[in-house]
Amino acid sequence: MEQNKTRFYLIRHGETDWNKGGRYQGCTNIQLNDAGREQARLLGERFKFLPLDVVYLDRAVATAAPLAAAHGLTPIQDAHFREINFGEWEGHTIAELKEKYGKVYIDFFENPFDHPVPGEGSFQNAMDRALEGFEALAERHKGQNVAIVSHGGLLRVMLVGLLGMGDEFYRKTWMTNTSVTMVDVMEDGRKLLMTLNDKAHLEMAELFEKGEENYRRAGCACRVRGSHPQPRRAPQRL
């Protein structure tokens, strides 16, 4: 017999210029760029066809608004799901941090759970608060469909704790902007990873865009070649 479940949609916010430039964003509030706003719109279109009862976020208002609007919901702020605080590292690229901090950063980069991070202190601190928030929502919204719109680093750290995965899981996974990772919490407490980094709404939009571009190119080529069907000539009588 199938158990009742509580379904969580873990969603990374839309793209920012710092994301695009490969810069640590952390707790610095950077607005979505044009691509990020379009990603958020497509996410909202996708959630018109998915059941959803409540939306939680930290500061990702521009990303959460379209999917909440699809169901007439008002997003609820919850500080448990704020991004990892990277302190003085924020705004820098990996290359810049390696050059500026040397071994201190390299050790962290290679084993993030075993080395301190400025601001947050440690990944374990971030994991503990994220799990505390998740468990509270799982208890509060039993049997419902819950969206958490947050940040890539925090969501990946939370997954390590939720699924009891090793630290390598963090380094070997990725979450694209506005991707959807789905976790089901069963009645017996088990947590099942149903999807990871699902970005079907972005991939379908890209396919449609390429299809339209190919259609336009084909139309132009036909006009250039004058390849419209020509009337057939009647055979000449001898």
Give the model's confidence band at 225: pLDDT under 50 very low, under 70 low, under 90 confident, else very high. low
Q: Quick one: the chain helix, strand, coil %, rounded to 5?
A: 45, 15, 35
pLDDT at 238: 40
Nearest to 67 by CA among 18, 14, 29: 14
Query: Would strands 180-186 and 5-12 be described as parallel, antiparallel, or unpaired?
Result: antiparallel
Q: Flag the least confident range among 23-27, 182-186, 228-232.
A: 228-232
Q: Report residue 199: phi and psi, to 5°.
A: -125, 35
Answer yes or no: is pLDDT of 236 > 60: no
pLDDT-above-90 percentage for the chain: 82
Average pLDDT of the residues in 48-76: 96
pLDDT beyond 60 at 237: no
Give the angle subtended at the CA of 153 by the CAs of 20 and 17, to the nearest 5°.
15
pLDDT reported for residue 209: 77
pLDDT the model gives residue 107: 95
pLDDT of res. 167: 84
Mean pLDDT of 54-68: 96
Q: What is the pTM of this model?
A: 0.86
**Which residue segments constitute the domains of the chain, with CATH numbers given?**
5-199 (3.40.50.1240)
- 22/142 Cα distance (integer angstroms): 38
**Nearest C-alpha neighbor of 192 from the set 154, 163, 169:** 163
Q: At what angle do helices 103-110 and 94-101 cross, to 10 degrees?
A: 130
Residue given tokens 């044009």 in the structure block: 34
The Cα–Cα gap between 2 and 24 comes to 42
